[in-house]
Amino acid sequence: MDGSTHPCKTEQCAGGVARNMAEALWRLRNGRTRLLTAIGEDDDGKYLQNIAPDLILDGCVVKNARTAKYAALFDVNGECKLGLGDMDIHNQITIDLVNKHTDVLKAAPLIVIDGNVPTATMDHVLKLCNEHNKPGKWTSNELASSFE
């Protein structure tokens, strides 16, 4: 990497492990899945809202923030050589935001937590899972662990 411009092909798609799982369940369950997340009030946030209407819970749009993005650089063999993440908005997924949606969590048959949320928020959600006898699972691109 010498700082010069190299020809490439680009592709953009919606993503995030938990978001992808939520959208798949939303489609399989005829819209009966909800995603508690944080998205920016930007074009990417609007795109995410449009591809799965009503998936994202009210109150998840953060003003003056950028929707999380991840960019990967692959070589000709498809091997990832570099990953760049703009994930600051995940810090907006707070205990207060979770508490605004406890009714949704209580009604959920399963709760999945993305591994990018703050640890305190994750601990709080898993505590709620335990209190309400809900299976809870957190996801990560590198590790997944069940909460029992």
User: Measured between alpha carbons, how far is 142 from 115 in angstroms, rounded to an integer?
Assistant: 9
pLDDT of residue 63: 96
Query: What is the residue-level pLDDT of the chain in tens, covering all 148 positions?
Result: 788 998 988 888 999 888 999 999 999 999 999 999 999 999 999 999 999 999 999 999 999 999 999 999 999 999 999 999 999 999 999 999 999 999 999 999 888 888 889 999 999 999 999 899 888 766 654 443 333 3
What domains, with CATH codes, occur in the chain? Answer: 17-147 (3.40.1190.20)
Q: What is the pLDDT of residue 86?
A: 96
* Pair of tokens at residue 94: 């707070």
Predicted confidence at residue 82, as pLDDT, reads 94
In the numeric block, which tokens belong to residue 44? Answer: 């990417």
CB 36 within 8 A of CB 136: no
CB neighbours of residue 10 within 10 Å: 5
Cβ 14 vs Cβ 20: under 8 Å: yes
* CA atoms of 6 and 124, how far apart (whole Å): 46
Q: Are the C-beta atoms of residues 147 and 136 closer than 8 Å to each other?
A: yes
Whole-angstrom distance, CA of residue 139 vs CA of residue 90: 14
